């Protein structure tokens, strides 16, 4: 669904561009509404667009032996479809809307055309690619070494940052899939956070009641993610 009012829509990556580059990119961008759990791409599917979330956020998933696992979340700090900038024609991940909201959609052909002549745009996307590689490497370590409760706290903080809200929808089953753990592990961790008054959970909706407490519970990966982005895009 297309949106008519562009004035209220913003994406930090686009905002970081010089005025001329930002104007050229926005001229080919379509504001769209993204529904919860909408699939933007599947593995092997052609990358026809790049998506710059404004209020929505997107989970990037890869399959494993026991189902899918989330490898990254993309919100208003970045984009999905980065491969377009490097000549990649097909998606290597499944992209699903985890938080409903809005995004700016740029046709792949238009983005490739702009990148040929716009050095500032190319530099920003190259820098974002580096940030994503750093986050992906950290995720691999986090999934291997940190407790479910720590990883859940990190995921909730990341989602809240991108949703720009302390309340959002998520089921235990879906969160277990995102974290790559059994549902009982998610339920146990969520109950601990709820008993401590850090979150409340009811009918598929999570509300963060104590953000500082959640940050203390989360592993250091959350703080390192925030610092990585700040370092390269401040």
Q: Which residues constitute the domain of residue 156?
A: 147-218
pLDDT confidence of residue 7: 42
Say if residue 25 is in the same domain as residue 120.
Answer: yes
Say if residue 66 is in the same domain as residue 25.
Answer: yes
227 domain residue, yes or no: no
Q: Of 58, 68, 72, 61, which Cα lies nearest the Cα of 180?
A: 68
Query: Rounded to 5 degrees, what angle do the CA atoms 143, 146, 151 make?
Result: 75
Q: Which CATH number do you get for residue 113?
A: 2.60.120.10
Q: Which CATH number do you get for residue 199?
A: 1.10.10.10
pLDDT confidence of residue 65: 73
Distance between CA atoms of residues 26 and 77, nearest Å: 16
pLDDT confidence of residue 163: 87
Which phi-psi region, left, alpha or beta, contains residue 62 (left: φ > 0; alpha: ψ -120 to 50)? beta
pLDDT confidence of residue 135: 94
Ranges of residues in the chain with a pLDDT under 50 are 2-7
pLDDT confidence of residue 125: 97
CB-based contact 71:95 (threshold 8 Å) = no
Instruction: Take residue 65 and report the two structure tokens written for it.
Output: 């032996």
Task: Choose one of 142, 173, 198: the last residue of a domain.
Answer: 142
1 domain residue, yes or no: no
Say if residue 62 is in the same domain as residue 153.
Answer: no
Q: What share of the chain is helix, strand, coil (3-state, %, to 5)?
A: 50, 25, 25
How many structural domains comprise the chain?
Answer: 2
Say if residue 31 is in the same domain as residue 137.
Answer: yes
- What are 120-137's pLDDT values in tens digits? 999 999 999 999 999 999
Q: Of 126, 197, 166, 162, which Cα lies nearest the Cα of 52?
A: 162
Following DSSP, what letter does each residue of 57-109 receive, concatenated? EEEEEEEETTEEEEEEEE-TTS-B-GGGGGT--B-SSEEEEEE-EEEEEEEHH
pLDDT confidence of residue 32: 96
Say if residue 126 is in the same domain as residue 52.
Answer: yes
Say if residue 115 is in the same domain as residue 173.
Answer: no
């Amino acid at each position: 669904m297309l949106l008519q009012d562009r004035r209220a829509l913003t994406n930090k990556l686009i905002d970081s561009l010089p005025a001329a580059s930002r104007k050229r990119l926005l001229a080919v961008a379509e504001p769209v509404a993204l529904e919860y759990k909408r699939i933007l791409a599947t593995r092997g599917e052609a990358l026809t667009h790049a998506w710059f979330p404004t209020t929505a956020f997107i989970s990037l998933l890869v399959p494993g032996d026991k189902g899918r696992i989330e490898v990254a979340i993309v919100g208003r700090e970045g984009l999905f479809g980065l491969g377009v900038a490097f000549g990649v024609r097909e998606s290597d991940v499944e992209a699903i809307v985890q938080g409903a909201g809005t995004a700016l959609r740029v046709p792949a052909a238009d983005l490739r055309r702009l990148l040929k002549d716009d050095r500032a745009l190319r530099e920003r996307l190259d820098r974002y690619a580096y940030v994503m590689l750093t986050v992906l490497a950290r995720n691999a370590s986090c999934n291997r070494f940190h407790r479910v409760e720590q990883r859940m706290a990190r995921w909730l903080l990341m989602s809240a940052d991108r949703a720009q809200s302390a309340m959002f929808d998520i089921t235990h089953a879906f969160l277990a899939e995102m974290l790559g753990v059994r549902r009982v592990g998610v339920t146990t961790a969520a109950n601990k956070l709820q008993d401590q008054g850090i979150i409340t959970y009811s009918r598929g909706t999570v509300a963060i009641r104590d953000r500082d407490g959640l940050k203390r519970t989360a592993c250091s990966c959350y703080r390192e993610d925030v610092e990585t982005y700040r370092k390269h895009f401040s």
